[in-house]
Structure 1
């Protein structure tokens, strides 16, 4: 992760040289140093993986924020209306993720989304059990969760 280290170092230099010690200035320094490094290290193969991941990370963050907004709106609607639309249930998700960190990230992303909770993982680490507040169609829910898993897998490659 040499490229990330250089990016942080240049961003810290930016903060020190500008004299404004704030998070927004650090973020601006990160963005500026990212583009400077992308230009300077364009011929270095060890940096290519780092610069290819930034669009994936931004896309994943936007996808997850949108998913979070939808889940919050659904739970808020159910709480504020007199009728309850909940159909709770537990679903088993077969995992393609192999790494413990990747499985933990996936389980935590499921848990922070309102209406879902990662319960347990099988002893062979091939199945993740998730409690869903709205288990309308098991096939659709499974497809949505597998889509999230595929995005996590793509992000961590």
Structure 2
């Protein structure tokens, strides 16, 4: 459904002579709003998925920017006060695809690096540049996992009046 959504967006943008990034984005949003209004369960699930993905992406970009500022502050400080550590965290999900995605996203975040995953007890090992406040490190990872699962978990089935 997403591929069809993207293809129709590009076609609409081309038809109106707006075949550039902003034009395609506008066509995508307009088509998204149209799909949101349709009383079809499949289009409803698709729009919820796109909305959750957009919110997750914006949140994650904000986390990367925040972590970049924190790492820059540590690097530029006169006295570097960090306590690097390896943190073991038991994940909520058992799906190895999700674990891989969580590990990749953590590695993209400055100051953290996913090292290993032990499937026997669902434990992910993360290197944190500054683990003086381990609860903040684990809290950030828990929030990442929660938001990612919220996005990628199947949307609730539409009610009968949506069909």
Q: Which residue of 2 aligns with 1:60?
A: 56
Q: Is the 8 A contact 2:35 2:44 kept in 1?
A: no
Q: Distance in 2 between matches of 1:138 and 1:126?
A: 19
Match of 1:122 among 93, 118, 142: 118
Q: How many correspondences in the alignment?
A: 153
| TM-score, with structure 1 as normaliser | 0.88
Aligned-pair distance for 1:125? 6.6
Where structure 1 has 5 or more consecutive residues not aligned to the other structure, the ranges are none
Q: Which residue of 2 aligns with 1:113?
A: 109
| TM-score, with structure 2 as normaliser | 0.85
After superposition, the Cα gap between the structure-2 partners of 1:24 and 1:125, relative to the gap in structure 1 and judged at 3 Å, is farther
Q: Which residue of 2 aligns with 1:8?
A: 6
Matched, 1:90 2:86: yes
Q: Which has the higher contact order (CA 8 A, sep 6+)?
A: 2
Q: Which residue of 2 aligns with 1:43?
A: 39
Where structure 2 has 5 or more consecutive residues not aligned to the other structure, the ranges are 154-163
Q: Distance in 1 between matches of 2:7 and 2:121?
A: 38
Listed one character per residue, the Cα deviations across residues 47-102 of structure 1 (whole Å, up to 9, x for unaligned) are 22112223322321222122112211111111112210211000011111222321
Listed one character per residue, the Cα deviations across residues 1-37 of structure 1 (whole Å, up to 9, x for unaligned) are x3x2331232022122123432222212111111122
Q: Is the 8 A contact 2:102 2:145 kept in 1?
A: yes
Q: Is the 8 A contact 1:111 1:117 kept in 2?
A: yes
Match of 1:27 among 9, 25, 28: 25
After superposition, the Cα gap between the structure-2 partners of 1:81 and 1:137, relative to the gap in structure 1 and judged at 3 Å, is closer
> RMSD of aligned C-alpha atoms?
1.7
